[in-house]
């Protein structure tokens, strides 16, 4: 069976398409989901794509990934900059994590320059709009192929 990658989206990402298009572009979350699912298939992966505005729901999904997914791609939205709970959950499950942002968070306000998620992540893709997610799928395929479960757990 193809490895499953949980692709998580945090608060306000359900508004993509109409939300500050000059920053986030005009792609909707549904169109990003379609692109991600296609690229995942091309890379021999299965994408399980979800969005929630609620921190506790994201934490629950991350906890549930243990035993059901082989990797996590996450755009935690504003929780990136605030959530120790999401960081703790990511560290608890010990799966490879790739952090994604549509915008280049380092070109924006100072409060967006710090990410709790990065502490748990193999790497970060940001600034390429919807393409950030596609690049993250490629990076996850590479990560899952190039490391053993034991090595990944110790990153």
Any catalytic annotation for residue 24? Answer: yes
Minimal CA–CA distance to 98: which of 2, 5, 3, 1?
5
Any catalytic annotation for residue 101? Answer: yes
Pair of tokens at residue 66? 């243990």
Q: Is 107 exposed, middle or buried (0-12, 13-18, 19+ CB in 10 A)?
A: exposed
Measured from the CB atom, is 47 or 144 closer to ligand DQA? 47
Nearest approach, Cβ of 103 to ligand DQA (angstroms)?
3
Measured from the CB atom, is 63 or 104 closer to ligand DQA? 104
Distance CA 127, CA 114 (A): 15
Q: Which residues bind ligand DQA (CB under 6 A)?
A: 12, 75, 77-78, 80, 101-103, 105, 112
Nearest approach, Cβ of 77 to ligand DQA (angstroms)?
3
Distance CA 59, CA 67 (A): 15
Measured from the CB atom, is 58 or 105 closer to ligand DQA? 105
State the catalytic residues. Answer: 24, 101
């Amino acid at each position: 069976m193809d490895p499953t990658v949980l692709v998580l989206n945090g608060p306000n990402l359900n508004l993509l398409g109409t939300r500050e298009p000059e920053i986030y572009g005009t792609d909707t979350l549904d169109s990003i989901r379609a692109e991600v699912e296609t690229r995942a298939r091309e890379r021999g992966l299965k994408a399980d794509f979800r969005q929630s505005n609620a921190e506790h729901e994201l934490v629950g999904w991350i906890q549930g990934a243990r035993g059901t997914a082989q990797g996590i791609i996450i755009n935690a939205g504003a929780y990136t900059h605030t959530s120790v709970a999401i960081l703790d959950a990511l560290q608890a499950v010990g799966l490879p994590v790739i952090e994604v942002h549509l915008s280049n968070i380092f070109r924006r306000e100072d409060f967006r320059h710090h990410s709790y998620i990065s502490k748990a992540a193999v790497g970060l893709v940001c600034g390429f709009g919807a393409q950030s997610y596609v690049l993250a799928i490629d990076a996850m395929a590479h990560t899952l192929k190039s490391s053993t479960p034991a090595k990944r757990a110790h990153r």
